[in-house]
């Protein structure tokens, strides 16, 4: 599943799942553009680790929800790397609250980053992906987008919308040999899940058949497969990485 000489953009790649994806793609030989929102030092550290695999890695600050800024960054990446073959839309935020207490700003921000951000990057990279011999898009959704989740009306709506976006893009770009798939992680060990209450861990023990949280590297391995030549006939799919929780 070598990705040698291919260039991948990974949004939200300074930590967690995004970082694991970036490092796995680099390990497979892909050059990586590391996008981050605020932590430049963490993003540069990911670049340093990626370069140990002999690939080119560069970091870019970007508010993925900003249409114009997203285009500027995509144009810069194209200039720096000479092409774009893979897009991983991983950037995401949470602003959890029960619907009755959720304010408009909390809803809008989550939709803008998690859903519109993916649209922005697909829009601005689609021509380059169509020029690639094997364009690949993977959108990081969530099991919350499949089953809903109390306190996450905004997040669930965004992640569900991402699935609809995935299927539409898969149909529109299939004729140009570009695949578009989504993954739906469940409980994954990241900074975002580090301080979950005991009740959630009890839920995992009773409701997740594998009785544990997943690892970011396990998500990254699936992404690496989906962007490889081995997955050239898979498009429009949503694949869960949830230990059987939504089975």
Is 203 among the residues known to form the active site?
no
Farthest CA pair distance, the chain: 51
| DSSP character at residue 58 | E
Cα 232 vs. chain centroid, distance in angstroms? 19
| DSSP-assigned beta bridge partners for residue 138 | 88, 181
| Structure token digits, residue 205 | 């023990």
Q: How far is CA 25 from CA 48, 63, 188, 237, in A?
A: 14, 23, 19, 20
- Backbone Cα Rg of the chain: 17
| Catalytic residue chosen out of the listed positions 36, 60, 155, 203 | 155
Chain centre distance of CA 130? 20
- DSSP 3-state of 95: coil
- Quote the DSSP letter at residue 181: E
Q: What share of the chain is helix, strand, coil (3-state, %, to 5)?
A: 50, 15, 35
Which residues are marked as active site?
Answer: 155
């Amino acid at each position: 599943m070598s990705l040698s000489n291919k260039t991948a953009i990974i949004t939200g790649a300074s930590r967690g799942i995004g970082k694991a994806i970036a490092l796995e793609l680099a390990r497979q030989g892909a050059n990586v553009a590391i996008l981050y929102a605020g932590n430049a030092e963490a993003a540069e550290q990911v670049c340093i680790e990626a370069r140990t695999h002999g690939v080119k890695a560069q970091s870019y600050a970007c508010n993925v929800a900003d249409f114009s800024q997203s285009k500027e960054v995509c144009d810069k990446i194209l200039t720096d790397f000479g092409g774009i073959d893979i897009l991983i839309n991983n950037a995401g935020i949470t602003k959890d609250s029960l619907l009755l207490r959720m304010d408009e700003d909390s809803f809008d921000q989550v939709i803008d980053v998690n859903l519109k951000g993916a649209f922005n990057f697909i829009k601005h990279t689609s021509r380059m992906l169509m020029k690639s011999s094997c364009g690949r898009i993977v959108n990081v959704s969530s099991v919350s987008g499949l089953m809903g989740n109390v306190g996450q009306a905004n997040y669930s709506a965004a992640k569900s919308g991402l699935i609809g976006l995935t299927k539409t893009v898969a149909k529109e770009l299939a004729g140009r040999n570009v695949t578009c798939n989504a993954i739906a992680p469940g409980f994954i060990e990241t900074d975002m899940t580090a301080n979950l209450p005991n009740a959630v861990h009890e839920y995992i023990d009773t409701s997740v058949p594998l009785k544990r949280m997943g690892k970011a590297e396990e998500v990254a391995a699936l992404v690496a497969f989906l962007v490889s030549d081995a997955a050239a006939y898979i498009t429009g799919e949503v694949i869960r990485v949830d230990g059987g929780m939504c089975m």
